[in-house]
Amino acid sequence: MPLLTLKNIQKIYGSKLTPKIEALKNVSFTVEEGEFIAIMGESGSGKSTLLNLIATLDTPSAGEIILNETPLHDLKSSDISAFRRNKLGFVFQDFNLLNTFTNRDNIYLPLVLSGFKPNEMAERLTKIAPTLGITEILDRYPYESSGGQQQRVAIARAIITQPELLLADEPTGALDSRSSKMIMNLFQTINQQGQTVLMVTHSTKAAAHAKRVLFIKDGIVFHEIYKGDDSYLTFMEKINEMQILLDQGGVNNEL
């Protein structure tokens, strides 16, 4: 049974007063439990729109998103809140940290909302902070932290609940190559522990850490490639080649 199924998803932005933009035309794919998927595509191809729909931050104009056999549009708003709180971790492209809270309290926020005790929260944070390299900045505020530090705090906030499904929008966008590699290794570890990861990225280096890469173009999933038994470098080469082909408009392989 797939963890997540997207059937013929369409998303049109705009209102009576503004021009309509078809961000997603017809997107269908399934995500099995335990997958690590990277979503790639040029700027404006609808990647963030797709993650936002899966995260129930927005609703599709047409089509169906099914999580664990339950169509999301059948869920009551209280169930949707519970799904976001209990099952989902989301790393936002622009981090979405609260500037009135310290980095530590930003990270604790989802646990506070779920009723965790202070010592349980501290124990979880102590485990992940060194890997993310944020131990020294936990008592700073987001506005006192660099973009890369804020991104790592946002990742900590998303993974501290040990979500069944981690959605990450450009999680290495603000990071140097060393930190990016560290984050991708962390995502791989999380995935090996059984969590499903769906990540939007422009970076071939980051995408090659995934087990499958979906390519979005013109509002559809245009192509996908699986890592299989390929080495990291071979898979990265294949992703690069596919990107070049897609940039040239050379393949037509709608899923």
188 CB burial (10 A radius; 0-12, 13-18, 19+)? middle
β-pair partners for 29: 6
Nearer to ligand ATP, 103 or 201 (CB): 201
Pick 19 or 130: Cβ nearer ligand ATP: 19
Q: Are 170 and 201 in contact (CB under 8 A)?
A: yes
Q: Is 143 helix (H, G, I), strand (E, B) or coil?
A: helix
CB 213 within 8 A of CB 47: no
Residue 195 CB, shortest distance to ligand ATP, in Å, is 23
Looking at the Cβ atoms of 33 and 58, the one nearer to ligand ATP is 58
Return the number of the residue (91 or 137) whose C-beta is nearest ligand ATP: 91
Instruction: For the CB of residue 251, give the shortest distance to ligand ATP in the complex, in Å.
Output: 19
Minimum CB–partner distance for residue 162 and ligand ATP (Å): 26
13 binds ligand ATP (CB under 6 A): yes
Q: Does 151 bind ligand ATP (CB under 6 A)?
A: no
Q: Does 147 bind ligand ATP (CB under 6 A)?
A: no
**Is the CB of 128 or the CB of 183 nearer to ligand ATP?**
183
CB of 20 to ligand ATP, least distance (A): 9
Residue whose pair of structure tokens reads 């290794």 in the numeric block: 185
DSSP character at residue 241: H
Whole-angstrom CA distances from 234 to 82, 120, 168, 208 are 40, 42, 24, 9
**Interface residues for ligand ATP in 33-72 (CB under 6 A)?**
41, 43-49
Q: How far is CA 174 from the centre of its chain?
A: 15
Whole-number Å distance between alpha carbons of 187 and 251: 30
Q: How far is the CB of 31 from ligand ATP (least distance, A)?
A: 18
Q: Which of 161/203 has CB closer to ligand ATP?
A: 203
Instruction: Write phi, then psi, for 196 (nearest 5 degrees).
Output: -90, 135
Between the alpha carbon of residue 44 and those of residues 21, 68, 71, 165, 219, the distances in Å are: 11, 29, 27, 24, 9
Q: Name which of 21 and 112 has its Cβ closer to ligand ATP.
A: 21
Residue 250 is which amino acid? G
Nearest distance, CB of residue 45 and ligand ATP, angstroms? 4
Binding site for ligand ATP (CB under 6 A): 13, 21, 23, 41, 43-49
